[in-house]
Amino acid sequence: MSSKRGRLVIVSGPTASGKSTLWRRLVDHPRVRFSVSATTRAPRDGEVDGRDYCFVEDARFDAMVEQGELLEWAEVHGRRYGTPRGPVVEAIDAGFDVVLEIDVQGAVQLRESGLPTISIFVSPPSREVLEQRLRDRGTETEEQMQRRLTIVDQEMAAAKEYDHVVINDDLERMIAQVEELLGLNQEQS
Ligand code: 5GP
């Protein structure tokens, strides 16, 4: 393992922007790990506890906050999400880059944490495309979807705070662009 400390790779973007597909591909690289967040929201179909999220009760989340177990946390769409501190710090100390798929509030907290970060904002090509992707996904009720869409504009306004903004008009091209930004193509060992 490299003696160099790894980085926190912050990936944010509006719902259905393609950021989940992006992180799943990034963790194929041997030098990259994913940080599994804790959340109080219910699992969606196909999501696995401990892989996609650690699904916890409110009381457990409260305890994690009180005991300083979270590097950052935020309330998003009425549910709480947070990054467990221990596994992330261990991984970057061991030289891994750790991908965090977190919202814009979490990204602000991590930029102020003093840890090495590189932040990437994944933008859909347009709001219309994003709305269509969300409908195609079909995992949300109409009301949940409207709630998500109303905060898309605020999320898009935060893009300028990120080190890099990538536009997901073509998934493979976008993933290759991020791999290049992270220098993952040169380091396969
Ligand atoms: P979803 O419920 O669609 O999986 O995620 C909703 C939002 O929560 C997304 O914007 C996602 O990036 C964000 N999120 C997921 N995990 C975390 C986390 O640990 N911290 C923060 N701040 N946001 C998170």
Let me know if 155 is exposed, middle or buried by CB neighbors in 10 A (0-12, 13-18, 19+). Answer: buried
Q: Give the Cα separation of 147 and 77 in Å (integer).
A: 7
Contact assessment for residue 107 and residue 162, using Cβ atoms and an 8 Å cutoff: yes
Q: Closest Cα to atom 15, ligand 1: which residue? A: 102
Residue 41 CA, closest ligand 1 atom number: 2
> Any bridge partners for residue 101, and if so which?
11
Which pLDDT score is estimated for 93? 95
Residue 107 and residue 35: Cα distance in Å, rounded? Answer: 14
Predicted pLDDT of residue 167: 95
Query: How do residues 18-58 score in pLDDT, each as one tens digit?
Result: 898 999 999 999 999 999 999 999 999 999 999 999 999 99
- Ligand 1 atom at minimum distance from 13 CA: 10
Amino acid symbol at 155? E
Kindly state if the Cβ of 76 falls inside 6 Å of ligand 1: yes
Q: Which of 32, 35, 31, 51 is nearest to 43 (CA)?
A: 51
Amino acid at 52: D
- Confidence at residue 3, expressed as pLDDT on a 0 to 100 scale: 65
Q: How far apart are the CA of 106 and the centre of ligand 1, in A?
A: 9
Residue 22 has a pLDDT of 96
Which residue among 49, 56, 76, 88 has the greatest number of ligand 1 atoms within 8 angstroms of its CB, and so is best to mutate?
Answer: 76
User: How many CA atoms lie within 13 Å of 60's alpha carbon, on the beta-carbon side?
Assistant: 11
Domains of the chain: 8-182 (3.40.50.300)
The reported pTM is 0.90
List, in sequence order, the alpha helices (H) in 121-182.
Answer: 127-137, 142-157, 171-181
Name residues of the chain where pLDDT drops below 70.
1-3, 187-189
What tokens does 115 get?
């840890």
Distance 101 CA to ligand 1 centre (A): 6
The residue nearest atom 14 of ligand 1, judged by CA position, is: 102
Tell me how far apart the alpha carbons of residues 43 and 56 are, in angstroms, rounded to a whole number. 10
Q: In sequence order, what are the residues at sequence separation of 6 or more whose Cβ sits closer than 8 angstroms to the Cβ of residue 147?
A: 77, 78
Q: What is the model's pLDDT at position 150?
A: 84
Protein residue with its CA nearest to atom 1 in ligand 1: 15
Q: Report the length, in residues, of the chain.
A: 189
Output the pLDDT for position 189: 45
